[in-house]
Structure formats: structure tokens, C-alpha cells
Amino acid sequence: MRFTFLCRQKPGASRFRVAVIGAGPAGLSATGFLVCRGYEVDVYEKLPLPGGMMTFAIPKYRIPLDSVMEGVEELKDKFGVKFTLSTKVACGERRDEGDELASNSLDMLKLTEGYDAVLIATGTWRSRRLGIPGDDAKNVMSALEFLLDLHLEELGLKAGHLGGVRRVVVVGGGLSAIDAAEESLMKGAQEVYLVYRRTIKEAPAGEYEVRRLMRLGVNWIELAAPKSVIAENSVARGLVFQKMKLGEPDETGRPRPVPIPGSEFEVGADVVIAAIGEIPTPPVASECGGIGKYVGKDGRIAVDRTYRVPGTSVFAAGDVVTGPSKIGQAVRLGLHAAKEIDRFLSVKTLVSR
């Protein structure tokens, strides 16, 4: 996987320095573009390896780790990119999933002082909670937490936690739900249930992916929404679901799931995985030199048409701007932002002459 799409070797060096916060697909593609334009680029990542969710959440049969690391090694060896790993960059106090892997921290405002431009590409590392009674039980986790732990186990960075689990219930219908259900099956769970509040035709992952899992042995339950977690001594033993029917379209254009009174039923579980979406995680939890006012309640960073935070030398791209998306879109937006950084610094060059 090459991130240097435009060149085979580093061109003449520019006097400008760029920092990229986040080594996921958006950050790495932007880095590749910028080094091909001659900029000195430093990448900061809170996780112990680059790649973001390509390394720590997406199953290896979808994106092989060796492929990602080959592209990273090329950036380091041929283009002089410096990766500072296990380092959380933030402005103000905030906690996101995966932060426990960071052994160092840097103040974002101080970081910006040492660079001519900064790109924020920190993605979506906070999961939506089920928001039902009992969802704080010890064995209720997000899909992101579950997949991150599995990848850390595979990399020898953490002990496994799924051994001996008999029944796993995954709530959701997107790709993270598909991945969590399939990985559970591959890790030896005897029964895996995938439960979604709409029908298979509305599942964000697509009907093909759901049916593929059904052929592998995953139990599919549609038109059911979780109502509460059955817990004993803070340990989940199952879920109470309520049957749903489809109503009028909601703001997404999909039919709204409507509860059917008196239709509750229970499904036992040793592990409950909530795969109902992630939200953007900007490295900003305060005013942060004017940047904070451009962070919405949903976590997304509002940028102008040039991917720039207005009035600053800070840019943002990828899921931290759009919300959760696919790898291809994150790569594309990272490239667009890098082009705008190049234009921004080119104008700076002309003005300084």
C-alpha cells in the first residue's frame, strides 16, 4: 500500500514543516502527498503503530497489516517522515478509546508553534453507547473496544479476553457489527447473534455481508432493538429486546423503527458488543486558540472549502470532519486537504519574498 502516489523518491526539500496528527488513512495519504511536494512532515499517533483503524480495528483479511506497514516504512526510509507513536496530542483534557495505549502526551497549541501548518486527522475513536439500563456492565463493550483488543492480542501487545466465551450478542447492522460478529466466531464463540432494529435490506453493511455471515453460522435477528441489559453483580447475562416495525422514513431516508408494545423477548449473552456507530474525536476539548469554536456538538471539526480551520494554520480531514466513512473516502479527503496545505504554503512563500 503506497501513500506516496505522486513520486518514487523525495524531491528537493522545502523550508516548510508540517505536522500530521493521526496516522490513519487520511493522515497517511496526506503525508504521502506532502513529502512528494518536498515538505518535511512529522506524524503524531497515540497508538503504538501507524495505520489507525486499518491496523487496530479492520480485520486483516480486509486490509493486510503487512501492506499498511510497507507503505509506512517507505514514508520513513525513503522520504524521511518521522513518526512519534504512543503519543496523545490534545488541547485540554479529553479521553477517547485507545488513549490508554499512549505513554506520552503533547499540548496541541505548543505543537502548532513549531510547524508552518498542522493537519488534524484523528478519526472517530469514541463509540456510541447503547443508552439503556445495565449498559455499564463489565462485559458490555463497544465494537471498537472489542476489535482493538483483538488486534492488540494478535500483535502480542495484550493478553486475549475471549477465551471460553460461549455466546456473543452484537447489536448493530454496520461493518463494525459485521467485523465484531465474524471475529467472535473465528475466536471460538459457540453462538453469535447479530441483532438489528431494521431489516436486512436497510443494514448499512449491505445485505450481502449479512447473508455471508449467516452462511458462516451467525444468527441474524432483525426488527429488534435493545431495551435493557440483564445483569447480575455488574456482569451482563443477556439482553431484553423489543420487537420493532418499520414506520415512515426518518431524516436518513430509511424507514423509522417503531416499537411494538408488549413484544419484549430475551437473548442470553456472555459478551455484549454495541456496534451502533462511532463519533469524531478531535484533539480539542477547550477554546484552544480559537479552534474549539469550530468543533460541533457531534465532535466534527467545521472547516472551510480549503479544509482549513478559519483564521488558523490548522487543517482537518477524514472522519474527524465528515463523521464515520469508508477508507477510500478518508484517503480522498486526506489528499484534498494536503493539496490545500500545499497551496496555503505556496502563497506563504510568495508573500515572504
pLDDT, tens digit (0-9, with 9 covering 90-100), for 28-87: 999 999 999 999 999 999 999 999 999 999 998 899 999 999 999 999 999 999 999 999
> Is 317 a residue whose pLDDT tops 80?
yes
Query: Taking all residues of the chain, what is their mean pLDDT, rounded to a whole number?
Result: 94
The rounded distance, in Å, linking the Cα atoms of 196 and 246 is 12
The rounded distance, in Å, linking the Cα atoms of 144 and 174 is 12
- Find the distance separating the first CA and the last CA of the chain, reported in whole Å: 38
pLDDT of residue 330: 97
Task: Supply 299's cell numbers.
Answer: 465532535
Q: What residues are paired with 226 via a beta bridge?
A: 241
Range of weakest confidence among 198-207, 218-227, 285-294: 285-294
> Is 286 a residue whose pLDDT tops 90?
no
CA atoms within 13 A on the CB side of 225: 16
CATH code of the region 17-125+278-352: 3.50.50.60
Angle at 89 between CA 86 and CA 94, to 5 degrees: 105
pLDDT of residue 352: 54
> Is 202 a residue whose pLDDT tops 90?
yes
Structural contact between residues 91 and 122, judged by C-beta atoms closer than 8 angstroms: no
pLDDT of residue 173: 96
Output the CA–CA distances (angstroms, integers) from residue 127 to 24, 98, 307, in the order listed: 17, 11, 25
> Is 108 a residue whose pLDDT tops 80?
yes
Shared fold status for 17-125+278-352 and 129-274: yes
User: 151 pLDDT band (50/70/90 cuts)?
Assistant: very high
pTM across the whole model: 0.93
User: 253 pLDDT band (50/70/90 cuts)?
Assistant: confident
- The SS3 assignment for 29 reads helix
Q: Which of 62, 28, 56, 21 is nearest to 278 (CA)?
A: 56
Range of weakest confidence among 31-45, 152-166, 211-225, 262-276: 152-166
Per residue in 331-346, pLDDT (tens digit) is 999 999 999 999 999 9
**Average pLDDT over every residue of 95-121:** 95
> Is 349 a residue whose pLDDT tops 90?
no
pLDDT of residue 91: 93
**Average pLDDT over every residue of 182-199:** 95
**Average pLDDT over every residue of 249-253:** 86
Per residue in 209-218, pLDDT (tens digit) is 999 999 999 9
> Is 326 a residue whose pLDDT tops 60?
yes
CATH among 3.50.50.60, 3.30.420.40, 2.40.30.60, 3.90.1150.10 for 129-274: 3.50.50.60
Domain ranges of the chain: 17-125+278-352, 129-274
**Average pLDDT over every residue of 215-239:** 97
